[in-house]
């Protein structure tokens, strides 16, 4: 909840430096904040849109699930992570370590059931990576982003938007220029 309305942040760094991971964690943190503040006020919570332009939503999903459900990313990336989730009787050492000091250690399946409504209500992924799932997405620049965001808000019956994370803006510019045959030097 540390971001103020209207603020814009840019995260720069080398490939593999953790920009996407940080972006996912910021978005998940904000979605959690939306849920808590909505519940406290007795109002419909706001939501977050995570726009993925580099990797497909399918590849991004384990990162999001890992952050939301506090699962090890490798476990969240399994072909069917829900079938291998721990239960109260099958806790793994990482869960005990991660939740040390809490009165009760929750299993992956318990965390999933508890936090799934937050994910479904307060988080949306927009895939404009040009993936096989959405092959024509990602060349329309600002107009495309605006149209997709507007459509998502309208589809959610006017649910208020809290944050948009764009991962990453540079590739959106590159694709738009390539699609339109723009000379990068100019």
163-184 residue pLDDT tens:
999 987 787 788 778 888 888 7
Token pair in block for residue 84: 């291998």
Provide the H-helix boundaries in the chain. 19-41, 57-69, 73-76, 93-98, 108-122, 141-155, 169-179
CB environment 109-120: b (16+ within 10 A), e (fewer): bbbbeebeebbe
What is the pTM assigned to this prediction? Answer: 0.89
Between vectors from CA 82 to CA 92 and to CA 101, what angle results, nearest 5°? 35
What is the DSSP-derived secondary structure letter of residue 159? Answer: P
Average pLDDT, the chain: 91
- Tell me if 38 sits within 8 A of 44, measured CB to CB: yes
pLDDT (tens digit per residue) in 133-153: 878 788 778 888 899 999 999
Using CA atoms, how far residue 89 sits from 75, 86, 114, 123, in Å, is 18, 8, 17, 30
């Amino acid at each position: 909840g540390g971001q103020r309305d209207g603020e814009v942040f840019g995260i720069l760094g080398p490939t593999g430096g953790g920009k996407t991971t940080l972006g996912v964690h910021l978005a998940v943190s904000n979605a959690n904040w939306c849920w808590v503040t909505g519940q406290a006020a007795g109002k419909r919570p706001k939501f977050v849109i995570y726009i993925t332009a580099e990797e497909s939503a399918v590849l991004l999903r384990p990162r999001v699930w890992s952050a939301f459900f506090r699962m090890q990313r490798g476990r969240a990336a399994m072909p069917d992570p829900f079938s291998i989730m721990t239960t109260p009787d099958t806790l793994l050492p990482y869960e005990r370590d991660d939740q040390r000091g809490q009165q009760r250690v929750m299993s992956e399946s318990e965390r999933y059931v508890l936090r799934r409504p937050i994910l479904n209500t307060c988080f949306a992924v927009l895939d404009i990576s040009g993936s096989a799932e959405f092959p024509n997405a990602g060349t329309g620049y600002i107009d495309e982003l605006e149209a997709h965001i507007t459509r998502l808000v309208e589809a959610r019956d006017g649910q208020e938007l809290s944050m948009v994370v764009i991962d990453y803006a540079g590739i959106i510019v590159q694709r738009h220029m390539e699609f339109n045959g723009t000379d990068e030097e100019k």
